[in-house]
Amino acid sequence: MTPNRSIVFFDIDGTLYNHKKELPISTKNAVLQLKELGHEVAIATGRAPFMFEELREELGIDTYVSYNGQYVVVNGEVVYKNPLNRNSIIKLTETAVERNHPVVYMDHEDMKANVPEHQYITESIETLKIGRFPTHDPSYYEDRELYQALLFCLKEEEDYYVEQFQDFDFVRWHPYSTDILPSGGSKANGIQRVVAKLEIPNERVYAFGDGLNDIEMLSEIYHSVAMGNGVEEAKRAAKHVTKSVEEDGILHGLKMVGLLK
């Protein structure tokens, strides 16, 4: 083990990736430099594993917290899974169908929609720029574990679901779409699974993020850094605030906390 080895968790959208979903060269070089120094580098994201395969390959990362903590992998090995309650997702689907709100079901390999196509699905998924869209399979939830679902409705229509489904957390990421996650799950919880597996002390754990789904991570991790382009709630939760992703924020932040010179 490298002496004084630390682990650094990076969110993807708005943290590693800029608003064009591009990886700035300064960010790539900073991450590779961290690895050369013997530190562990991991990803902590709301994305599904299949939504950041190219990024993992480009940066040589095989440890990640995906689905906001519901599916955790350490050195290529699955160490934690927290699937959605199957009975509840059946009931939610029935409610959504009654209200003409599409649902997308997601496991570690793929995503399937319960409708052939819908404007809300197209417009929201397009913003992720992942090069793929959910295909149609209304029974996808029946014989597999799901770690997240997407509900496509407006914010004011979401409140009814929040009241009815107490064992789900709803995290809105687009005007037309909200994530559905197991209640109480978080990136922070997933990170603790990684840290325990790798036996890295809490005082050597770092995390970078920018969004509402990063708040628990930024408030609980020993060394946390919010991006300058992050939401105000994330900045308040973090121990440090770096520059924006467009202004070499990752490199600046790593220097700020002393991991790079």
What one-letter code names the amino acid at 237? A
Structure tokens at 34: 């961290």
Q: Is 11 among the catalytic positions?
A: yes
Distance of CA 156 to the CA centre of its chain: 24
Distance of CA 143 to the CA centre of its chain: 24
User: Would the CA dihedral through 160, 234, 80, 56 be positive or negative?
Assistant: positive
Identify any residues that bridge with 42 across adjacent strands, giving them in sequence order.
9
DSSP 35-60: HHTT-EEEEE-SS-GGGSHHHHHHHT
Contact status, residue 136 vs residue 146, Cβ threshold 8 Å:
no
Q: Which of 11, 13, 107, 248 is catalytic?
A: 11
Q: How far is CA 131 from CA 34, 50, 54, 102, 134, in A?
A: 29, 11, 11, 20, 11
Catalytic residue positions? 11
